[in-house]
Amino acid sequence: MSKVTIDTDTSRATPSPVPGKRTTVPSIRGRKVEGKTEQPIVMLTAYTMRMAQLLDPHCDMLLVGDSLGQVIYGLPSTIPVTLDMMCAHGAAVVRGSWHALVGVDMPFGSYEESPEQAFASAAHVLKETGCAAVKLEGGEAMAETIDFLTHRGIPVIGHVGLTPQAVNVLGGYGVRGREGMEADKILADAVAVADAGAFVMVVEGVMEELATRIAKEVAIPVIGIGASAQCDGQVLVTEDMLGLFERTPRFVKRYHDLAGEIAGAAQKYAEEVRSRTFPSSEQTYRPKS
């Protein structure tokens, strides 16, 4: 049987290896010492191999979020996302990265029933993707599951505050923690997630004062999204940050108008095709003189 050699210089699907060691779970956890993180953790979402390649040199962590349901598939929420979808995109992101720690979201319905169900789903994700960790939503109610997973070799990223998978219970995507009772519950959730063994957690869509308090009182690194600059790191949906959508949440800073760039390039291409100026002699094959 003959071997097939892939030219990494020309294959779109095969990234060229970059020397260096991939970021590990202990190194992320170790960034926070005695309640302080000297250098904030940089995290962005990634769903494809090519995007992972572009983001990897600049990020400590890449999150294959179930937000791909809306961003990639045009679904109304994250609820319909399946385990197979997460595995396919997670594997692509792992293939496209060499430096960042890759975490993959556990989709709705794949872990809530029991710790045993969560372990089966998480083990499947790790085997299929090669990622380093899984992320699951929920606070005190998920503490037993987080403990179960971490004691069986599966690193867990926690997620408290606004939890999109619970959108039907929450009644929408509004900011959480406005009232004292709800703020106390979110803080208790964060403490429970950390005590259960998560090595890092995402705090999403909460009042700034509450996010700052959580970052100070919880021993593990806290990654904010719509939270506080005093968190131990930040995460955004990359497509939001790049300006690929007309509407972006209040907490997103648009660093580029990529939608405008793409639309402009497509317009120019269409004009050249219709005027028959593309392809030119530079893009066609002719006999050598």
Binding annotation? 66-67, 105, 135, 137
Q: What angle do CA 17, 20, 26 make, to 5 degrees?
A: 125
Residues contributing to the annotated binding site for 3-methyl-2-oxobutanoate: 66-67, 105, 135
- Residue 24's SS3 state is coil
Does the N-terminal peptide bond of residue 279 adopt cis geometry, omega within 30 degrees of 0? yes
Residue 217 known to be catalytic: no
From 140, 179, 204, 217, active-site residue: 204
H or E, element range at 235: strand 233-236
Residues contributing to the annotated binding site for Mg(2+): 66, 105, 137
Rounded CA gap, 52 and 93, in Å?
Answer: 5
**What region does 86 belong to: left with phi over 0, alpha with psi -120 to 50, or beta?**
alpha
Write the DSSP assignment of 60-117 as a string of letters: SEEEE-TTHHHHTT--SSSTT--HHHHHHHHHHHHHT-SSSEEEEEPPTTSSSS-HHH
Write the DSSP assignment of 166-219 as a string of letters: GHHHHTSS--B--SHHHHHHHHHHHHHHHHHT-SEEEEESB-HHHHHHHHHH-S
Question: How many residues comprise the chain?
Answer: 289
Give the distance from CA 98 to its chain's centroid.
16
Q: Which residues are catalytic?
A: 204
